[in-house]
Amino acid sequence: MTSIERVSVLLVEDDEDDYLLTVDYLEQIPNYQFDVTWLSDYQGVLDQLKQQPVDLCFLDYHLGAHTGLSILEAAKSLKLNTTFIMLTGQSDERLDKEALAHGADDFLLKSEISSPRFNRAILYALSRRDLENERLERYKAEADSRAKDRFMAHLSHELRTPLTSIIGYTELLRDNRQLSNIKPELDIIHNNSQHLLNLLNDVLDLSKINASSLNIEKSPTELGPLIADLQSLFSMETKKKGIALSIVAKGDLPTVIMTDAKRLKQILINLVYNAIKFTPEGKVEVMFKLVQQNHHYCLNVAVQDTGVGIAKEKQKQIFKPFEQLQDTITRTSEGAGLGLAISAALVELFGGKITLESEVGVGSTFCFDIDLDTDIGECQPLSLAASKSDESQLCPLSLKGDVLIVEDLPEIQTLLKNLISNTGAKVACANNGLDAVNLVCSGEQTFDLIFMDLHMPEMGGREAIVTLRKQGINTPIIALTAAAQKDNIDTLLALGFDGIITKPINTELLYQSLEAHLQAKPCTSEKPASSANENATKQRILVVEDDKNTRDLMCLLFDSLGCESHSVSGFSECCALLDNDTAFDTICLDLNLADGSGLTLASEIKARECDANLVIVSGSEPPAEALAKHQIEHVILKPVSLADLKQVI
């Protein structure tokens, strides 16, 4: 059955007979229903078009004081998506051209209303309208897509910046032996931060897939270490759940393959993580096999589990974004339901397809193929020895060289300074590109390596590197960015950057960059001793706090800011220490100590002629009059943050 399309029509005509004739012939056009409004006065027509635009407008040329041309000119200024057809009683070539010049879509004689040309003119006009609507919808969709891309880029930057601080400082705290008593809590913070980062990456990847902007970048990749990483990555999770994880190869595998290691690893992690998540008991097995097809080779991968299984009617559904096995309200497993959808899309980019075999209560097997080159080179049995990246993480670095950090955010600047200083390298900082250019070009200090953020006030990283390269500065410069799309990376490398590290800062990649550009060698776990001059320039901080965890954490944060921190647990210990040593720049006093008040202790400190800046640390705002009485100007409210302590010093 043919559908009927409804078309709204405005007929501007001052002759009733012509109106009736036009309506009569409109009703004879098949497959259309024309809803006709009849008007004849200038202002009424414009008011009608403003209030309710129509699909089609017929304009009589002669309308008393006004003409169809004047109405057409006024109507076109309203920028309507309406088709206009001019009607006149007699042929006039000049009038025809004038009507078309004013924006009419066609010109008809009234005598042609009863002819086939009338039908054709209307059908052509409606077809042009539909094409224009499609063009406008396409333009709107493209504009929306560009707006979404800009939003996603902004979202990525805004979320990665705080995640840099959360993950980076948590890693610093986890590595501090003095905080071993709170390591489980720090692990929770770190794991959840990584989970947030993974969700962010998944959403960004899905956005790129939908925009067809995600590409596969192949390079020579050692297959053994890549597979071995799976074993180390999931060993703790499987041990905690009491299930077995086995990684096996059916036959020899190539030692090196041409592939996108990052994306292949992403597929494997998603599938293995999913298998572990939905396997309450039993095992998860990952099988690799080299398969020859015609004149080329494929790497076949199967991830098999003994988990809950997937009902047949749901097996296609789980490869759709945001779909999960359980109802979102009652589900117990974390995740946004993006892993399988992204994995399926990535496998297609590799030229393959994910297949699934599953039975409820028995388990599931996900399989996919990755195309390899015709010449795969040397093959050997799979070895799950620790990868080089694991070894480099376990081996501390001892570095010689001068490093410049160009970063406008103090917390990230301090994080990088601590990470790099721990290797023994000397570190200087600049707050923006302009300061960096002035410092490097002045020749007062030479640098072996520069880490440079891209988005900074005064001068960004892009402008800064162009300026430095024009001045003949060949120092290796690594870009720090929250955006790691291929086109962005290619642009940065073309500008003269020697490498890119994305935010949040990956410690392993940071150390790899340091190893590549500085003199590096394995060393003992002891930190290099500071020189007397370095100690002399450090601010001396005393923390008076009766809670050990808070005391240790504050000292660690002060140390990360380049200070020399000391601590005591109470009123009496503080007084005893100050009797022998009053050379402190700042003293932080807990308001409620176990053996006295922090305010009273402030008076005791001043009585010992100690000129330190006194700071009260409290869980609530102390009374203003008490602070004034004891001449206390600075108060920090718990929980203490790094930004609070930075302001103190």
Mind listing the pLDDT tens digit for each residue in 546-605? 888 678 778 877 887 788 999 999 999 999 999 999 999 999 998 888 888 899 999 999
Fold match, 5-114 / 219-388: no
pLDDT classification of 320: cutoffs 50, 70, 90: confident
d(CA 544, CA 540): 13
d(CA 361, CA 42): 75
Give the start-to-end residue ranges of the domains of the chain. 5-114, 138-210, 219-388, 396-521, 532-648
* 366 within 8 A of 356, measured Cβ to Cβ: yes
Give the CATH fold of the 219-388 domain: Heat Shock Protein 90 (3.30.565)
State the pLDDT at residue 84. 86
State the pLDDT at residue 299. 92
d(CA 292, CA 374): 9
More confident residue, 95 or 298: 298
More confident residue, 65 or 186: 186
State the pLDDT at residue 185. 81
pLDDT classification of 435: cutoffs 50, 70, 90: very high
Secondary structure letter of residue 318 according to DSSP: G
pTM: 0.47
pLDDT classification of 620: cutoffs 50, 70, 90: low
Q: Taking 50 as the threshold, does the pLDDT of residue 11 lie above it? A: yes
More confident residue, 586 or 376: 586
The H helix count followed by the E strand count for the chain is 21, 30
Q: Taking 50 as the threshold, does the pLDDT of residue 335 lie above it? A: no
- Residue 446: closest CA among 410, 406, 474: 474
Structure-token pair, residue 141: 């969709």
**Which CATH number, 2.40.50.140, 3.40.50.2300, 3.40.50.2030, 3.10.20.90, labels domain 396-521?**
3.40.50.2300
Which of the listed ranges 158-172, 267-281, 547-561 does the model predict with the highest average pLDDT? Answer: 267-281
Mind listing the pLDDT tens digit for each residue in 93-125? 777 788 777 778 788 887 777 777 887 888 887
* 401 within 8 A of 449, measured Cβ to Cβ: yes
CATH number of 532-648: 3.40.50.2300
Q: Listing from the earlier edge strand, what are the strands of the sheet with 540-544?
A: 564-568, 540-544, 586-590, 613-618, 634-637
Q: Taking 70 as the threshold, does the pLDDT of residue 642 lie above it? A: no
Q: Taking 90 as the threshold, does the pLDDT of residue 356 lie above it? A: yes
| 33, 220, 260, 350, 517 from 217: Cα distances, Å | 55, 10, 5, 10, 25
Q: What top-level class would CATH report for the domain 5-114?
A: alpha beta
Mind listing the pLDDT tens digit for each residue in 221-258? 888 888 888 887 787 778 878 899 999 999 999 988 88
- Work out the average pLDDT over 382-405: 65
